[in-house]
Amino acid sequence: MRYALYPGCAAKGATPELYQSTMAIIGRLGIEVAELTASSCCGAGVVTEADPEGALALNARTFAQAERLGLDIMTICGTCQGVMSSANRQLKGDAALLQRVNRLLEPEGLTYHGNVQVKHLLWIVVREVGLAKLKDEVQVTLGDLKIAPFYGCYILRPSWDLGFDDPENPTSLEKVIRAVGAEPVDYGGKIKCCGFPIILEKEDIALAMNGANLKEAKDGGADAMVTPCPLCHMSLDIYQERAAKKVETNLNLPVLHLPQMLGLAMGVPSRELGVERHLVPVDRIVKVVEERKSKVTHSPLSHGPLHLRSNGQPRRGKGEGAS
């Protein structure tokens, strides 16, 4: 499986640990990438408001670069996925619009013919890598840890642009959480807005939204949260302390990027996943994983992955040397 990697702005700027952890795990899943190093920002929905066709041209430029390589695009940002899916649908569905946008690309010698698909890493793991392959790569299953999925907005809605998950009842993150041995926490906030789009204009409202989602997840028993969107991650991690004051709760809920969760389960050293960059410490999750990984390495009864209990005690599956 080979894709044109579109990392987006956040993974190369405010959340470099997302890029770092992505590159640490994709090879283990059989994913090869050619990074689109000359691509532009997707516009994050903001450019569209000011200049709709200019925003389409930004994305068509990226699509044309991938098309020239003969590759579909892999994104690692939920916001990029939503914006680019919408742009791609519009361009493919309106020949006159595509022609006008291509005129804007002519100075660079680029033309988009509408032959590229845009796929988030989450979707690729579920449908193209497959959950069976993911399970095969798990070295230390995260058993008995409760992880709350947080989808955010752009990777789900509008569904006619995305067409992967049910926007009201998505299941892809839950499937991946189960595949690494953890238990997904079901709560209403998983499909709500993180507050990031309005954080600069309406901080009080954004923090209240953010805090409510985090509190609901924690009240549901979550040990950690995982998101496929770095903008959601920034909101949930960077602003968590302020959000906690809004909901009058001590949250202290670690928030993982999707490839960080996969990497921990695959046995990738935490330093290669960039978890030390988080404002809300991930130490207690990493400590449990590292202790279990050490026991797997040194145990003469070790055959296959070791399951983890949230209290730090090991639990092997049937036929793996334990009752």
| DSSP for 133-171, written as a single string | HHHHH-SB--TT-EEEE---STTTSSHHHH-SS-SSS--
Q: Residue ranges of the domains in the chain?
A: 2-120, 131-315
pLDDT attached to residue 317:
44
> Quick check: 306 pLDDT over 90?
no
Distance from chain centroid for Cα 246: 26
pLDDT attached to residue 323:
30
Distance from chain centroid for Cα 274: 15
Considering the entire predicted model, what is its pTM? 0.92
Share of the chain above pLDDT 90, in %: 85
Q: Which amino acid is at 207?
A: L
Using DSSP, state whether 317 is helix, strand or coil. Answer: coil
pLDDT attached to residue 299:
58
DSSP string, 169-203: S--HHHHHHHHTT-EEPP-GGGGS--SGGGTTT-H
As a whole number, the mean pLDDT across the chain is: 92
Question: Rounded to 10 degrees, what is the CA torsion of 45, 48, 54, 58?
Answer: 10
pLDDT band at 309 (very low <50, low <70, confident <90, very high): very low
What does the pLDDT look like over 240-249, one tens digit per residue? 999 999 999 9
Which CA distances in Å does 142 have to 7, 102, 104?
Answer: 27, 48, 49
Report d(CA 53, CA 138) in Å as an integer.
44
pLDDT band at 20 (very low <50, low <70, confident <90, very high): very high
Which CA distances in Å does 153 have to 27, 218, 263, 272?
Answer: 28, 20, 25, 29
- In 3D space, the residue among 79, 230, 226 whose CA is nearest the CA of residue 162 turns out to be 79
What does the pLDDT look like over 34-87, one tens digit per residue? 999 999 999 987 888 889 999 999 999 999 999 999 999 999 999 999 999 999
Report d(CA 321, CA 323) in Å as an integer.
7
Which residue is listed with tokens 């985090």?
Answer: 214
Report d(CA 211, CA 89) in Å as an integer.
34
Q: Which amino acid is at 259?
A: P
Report d(CA 111, CA 101) in Å as an integer.
9
Q: Which CATH class is domain 131-315?
A: alpha beta
> Quick check: 239 pLDDT over 60?
yes
- In 3D space, the residue among 38, 79, 81 whose CA is nearest the CA of residue 62 turns out to be 38
- Pairing state between β 314-315 and 307-308: antiparallel
> Quick check: 130 pLDDT over 90?
yes
> Quick check: 313 pLDDT over 80?
no
Cβ-in-10-Å burial (0-12, 13-18, 19+) of 272 comes to middle
Report d(CA 33, CA 126) in Å as an integer.
18
Using DSSP, state whether 120 is helix, strand or coil. Answer: strand
As its CATH architecture, domain 2-120 has Up-down Bundle (1.20)
For 35, phi and psi rounded to 5 degrees? -75, 135
Report d(CA 42, CA 139) in Å as an integer.
36
Which residue is listed with tokens 């990777």?
Answer: 155
